[in-house]
């Protein structure tokens, strides 16, 4: 089969709304709404209602103009993206339109791709809603008052539409290294972030929007320099399926430097404790006074700290250690770790003791330890030997830091980087990485490898009839059906919208067709109760096996996508092999 679409264009065409014939302007001439045809945002033709609405004498006064020149407000950048077909929005957008006589009208605007009429062609439909103008102006006045408050904020505040910044305050512009806020309008939201954060949010915006509460991130200014920040993402009422939201960011670089300085001071304090312990062994005549000083010093250390003899028995510990284990001041004195703590932790800690006693340097390790609250905590332990006047090791001093929250944050970041927020399956970025690795392995060690491309038939109809929440349930149910039908060694990924891909290692085309048919039947049996009617749907599936000509993962997936497109054109609810 010939590869006809290497970048998912077939799937994209299925989602882009109505199609238009060459005579559609004649049909829509009787419409009371403005209807015009644009190419790359330039007006090519307009109906009589549109000529009257814009106060033009005839169509020649409007043809050749850039449509965005007639639009006011904050949505110009967004409309440019829609007219250039960089984004698709199926819902009407309220904007202000200026007629040639200077009058401003409030309209609801819809932009439909019309690629069948030519590259870059779009049909624009505008309905006059001037009667609601008073309410819109009242809302606009409230917005102006809100913006005054936003501009006075000491922190970054940005309003975003989809993946773009449509507004940012002066404090935000200064934080990102811009002279004027206008320089940042229209920038990609992901470009505000640094390193892995930029890659994650650029590949899947839902990861940013799904976060609740304050989130620590690394941001970047316009010169590419990174800084630490806390952000809060707040969803805003959105028109259509493209989300609108507000990002508030606070620079915490100075705070983190202070924390680092405190940590350094804590490490310095550990060293001071070890030095003072050696002094106690050398100055036995001042033992009582020195012991009282050291005990006061250790009690002030915020981290759990203890010291043991060379026999492994506890000689003492500070307040933080007692609180961590919920013990008294003398309860563990003279006892060993083996009597009191988790066997696995004891084994690792004992090895660290021997290493510290055998070398005059600090030894550090990580482990899991069950504390008095009954929970297992991730901890990092630092140990160093304390020595006699003859410079012989007398025992070990240890200090502990609880890093459970940091470990949990690292695990969550890894999860966000690899999974889709709605379905829990692999996201597009991680699935493509997995597929690329598997294709390279097959080229080195030949064995069968197949891939499936599948999506929900007439998915737009489900969204339009029952709403996007039901559409999300359909996507989740589809993912669950696929998960139940495949092996643990197989990989399921959501590529976007209702489109999924499945990687089947060690599977030839015949076996892959059987898996695809099993999935097709399982999807056809899904029934979602909405309260206003049951939703049932089907899926179309394209199947391809890796061949010698497939030099990359994209080539294999493109052939499966072409087969999927054939399944759609052949009536849907079927499996087609490439």
Q: Which helix (H) or strand (E) holds 127?
A: strand 121-128
Selected residue with higher pLDDT from 295 and 46: 46
Domain ranges in the chain? 9-135, 153-251, 257-406, 419-577
User: At the top level of CATH, which class does the domain 9-135 belong to?
Assistant: alpha beta
Assign 436 a pLDDT band (cuts: 50, 70, 90). very high
Strands 539-545 and 575-577, sheet pairing: parallel
- For residue 181, CA distances in Å to 152, 174, 401 come to 14, 8, 43
Q: Which of 124-128, 149-153, 572-576 has the lowest mean pLDDT?
A: 149-153
The rounded distance, in Å, linking the Cα atoms of 180 and 176 is 10
Phi-psi region of 453 (alpha: psi -120 to 50; beta: other; left: phi over 0): beta
Mean pLDDT value of segment 264-283: 77
User: At the top level of CATH, which class does the domain 419-577 belong to?
Assistant: alpha beta
pLDDT of residue 218: 92
List of residues 6+ apart from 140 with CB closer than 8 A: none
Could you count the other beta carbons within 10 Å of the beta carbon of residue 206? Answer: 14
Mean pLDDT value of segment 356-378: 84
Q: Which of 152-156, 206-210, 282-286 has the lowest mean pLDDT?
A: 282-286
Give pLDDT tens digits for 307-339: 888 888 998 889 888 988 888 888 889 889 888
pLDDT of residue 153: 81
Report the percent of the chain where pLDDT is more than 90: 40
Give pLDDT tens digits for 490-524: 999 999 999 999 999 999 999 999 999 999 999 99
Selected residue with higher pLDDT from 335 and 272: 335
Q: Which of 161-165, 289-293, 448-452 has the lowest mean pLDDT?
A: 289-293
Mind giving me the DSSP string for 475-500? Answer: HHHHHHHHHHHS-TTSEEEEEETTEE
133 pLDDT exceeds 90? no
CATH superfamily of the 257-406 domain: PAS domain (3.30.450.20)
Strands across the sheet containing 34-39: 42-46, 34-39, 121-128, 104-113, 93-98, 71-72
17 pLDDT exceeds 70? no
The rounded distance, in Å, linking the Cα atoms of 247 and 232 is 6
List of residues 6+ apart from 453 with CB closer than 8 A: 499, 500, 501, 541, 542, 544, 557, 560, 561, 563, 564
pLDDT of residue 286: 60
5 pLDDT exceeds 60? no
Q: Long-range contacts made by residues 217-224, C-beta under 8 angstroms, separation at least 24?
A: 217/193, 218/193, 218/194, 219/175, 219/176, 219/192, 219/193, 219/194, 219/249, 220/176, 220/191, 220/192, 220/193, 220/194, 220/195, 221/175, 221/176, 221/177, 222/176, 222/177, 222/178, 223/177, 224/194
Give pLDDT tens digits for 55-109: 999 999 999 999 999 987 777 888 888 899 888 887 888 888 999 998 988 899 9
pLDDT of residue 137: 63
Give pLDDT tens digits for 32-45: 899 999 999 999 99
Q: Which of 120-124, 337-341, 523-527 has the lowest mean pLDDT?
A: 337-341
pLDDT of residue 539: 96
pLDDT of residue 125: 92
Architecture of the domain whose range is 153-251: 2-Layer Sandwich (3.30)
Query: Closest Cα to residue 531, out of 445, 578, 467?
Result: 467
pLDDT of residue 266: 79
- Intrachain domains 153-251 and 419-577 with the same fold: no
pLDDT of residue 7: 43
158 pLDDT exceeds 70? yes
């Amino acid at each position: 089969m010939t590869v006809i679409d290497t970048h998912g264009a077939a799937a994209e065409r299925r989602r882009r709304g109505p199609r238009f014939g060459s005579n559609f302007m004649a049909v829509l001439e009787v419409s009371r709404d403005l209807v015009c045809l644009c190419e790359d945002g330039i007006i090519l033709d307009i109906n009589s209602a549109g000529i009257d609405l814009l106060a033009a004498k005839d169509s020649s006064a409007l043809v050749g103009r850039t449509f965005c020149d007639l639009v006011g407000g904050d949505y110009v950048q967004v409309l440019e993206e829609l007219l250039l077909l960089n984004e698709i929005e199926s819902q009407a957008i309220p904007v202000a339109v200026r007629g040639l006589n200077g009058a401003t009208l409030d309209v609801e605007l819809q932009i439909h791709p019309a690629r069948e009429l030519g590259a870059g062609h779009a049909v624009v439909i505008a309905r006059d809603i001037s009667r609601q103008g008073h309410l819109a102006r009242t809302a606009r006045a409230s917005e102006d008052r809100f913006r005054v408050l936003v501009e006075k904020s000491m922190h970054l505040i940005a309003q975003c539409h989809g993946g773009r910044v449509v507004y940012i305050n002066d404090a935000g512009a200064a934080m990102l290294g811009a002279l004027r806020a206008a320089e940042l309008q229209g920038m990609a939201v992901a470009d505000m972030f640094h390193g892995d954060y930029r890659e994650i949010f650029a590949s899947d915006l839902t990861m940013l929007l799904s976060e609740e509460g304050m989130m620590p991130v690394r941001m970047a200014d316009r010169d590419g320099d990174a800084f630490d920040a806390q952000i809060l993402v707040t969803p805003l009422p959105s028109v259509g399926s493209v989300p609108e939201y507000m990002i508030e960011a606070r620079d915490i670089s100075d705070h983190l430097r202070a924390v680092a300085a405190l940590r350094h001071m804590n490490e310095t304090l550990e060293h001071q404790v070890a030095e003072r312990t050696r002094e106690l062994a050398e100055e036995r005549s001042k033992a009582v006074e020195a012991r009282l000083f050291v005990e006061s010093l250790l009690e002030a250390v915020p981290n759990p700290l203890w010291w043991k003899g060379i026999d492994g028995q506890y000689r003492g510990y500070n307040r933080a250690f007692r609180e961590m284990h919920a013990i008294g001041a003398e309860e563990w004195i003279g006892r060993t770790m083996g009597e009191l703590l988790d066997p696995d932790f004891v084994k690792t800690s004992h090895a660290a003791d021997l290493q510290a006693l055998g070398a005059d340097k600090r030894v550090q390790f990580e482990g899991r330890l069950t504390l008095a609250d009954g929970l297992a905590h991730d901890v990092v332990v630092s140990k160093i030997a304390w020595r006699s006047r003859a410079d012989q090791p007398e025992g070990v001093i240890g200090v502990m830091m609880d890093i459970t929250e940091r470990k949990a944050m690292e695990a969550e970041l890894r999860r966000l980087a690899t999974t889709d927020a709605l379905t829990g399956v692999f996201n597009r970025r991680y699935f493509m990485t997995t597929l690329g690795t598997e294709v390279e392995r097959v080229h080195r060690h030949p064995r069968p490898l197949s891939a499936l491309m599948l999506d929900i038939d007439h998915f737009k109809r489900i969204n339009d009839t029952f709403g996007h929440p039901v559409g999300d349930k359909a996507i989740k149910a589809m993912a669950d059906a696929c998960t139940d039908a495949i092996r643990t060694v197989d990989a399921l990924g959501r590529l976007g919208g209702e489109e999924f891909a499945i990687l089947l290692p060690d599977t030839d085309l015949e076996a892959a067709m059987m898996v695809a048919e099993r999935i097709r039947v399982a999807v056809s049996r899904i029934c979602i109760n909405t309260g206003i009617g049951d939703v049932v749907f089907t899926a179309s599936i394209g199947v391809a096996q890796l061949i010698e000509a497939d030099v990359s993962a994209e080539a294999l997936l493109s052939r499966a996508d072409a087969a999927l497109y054939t399944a759609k054109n052949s009536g849907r609810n079927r499996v087609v092999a490439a």
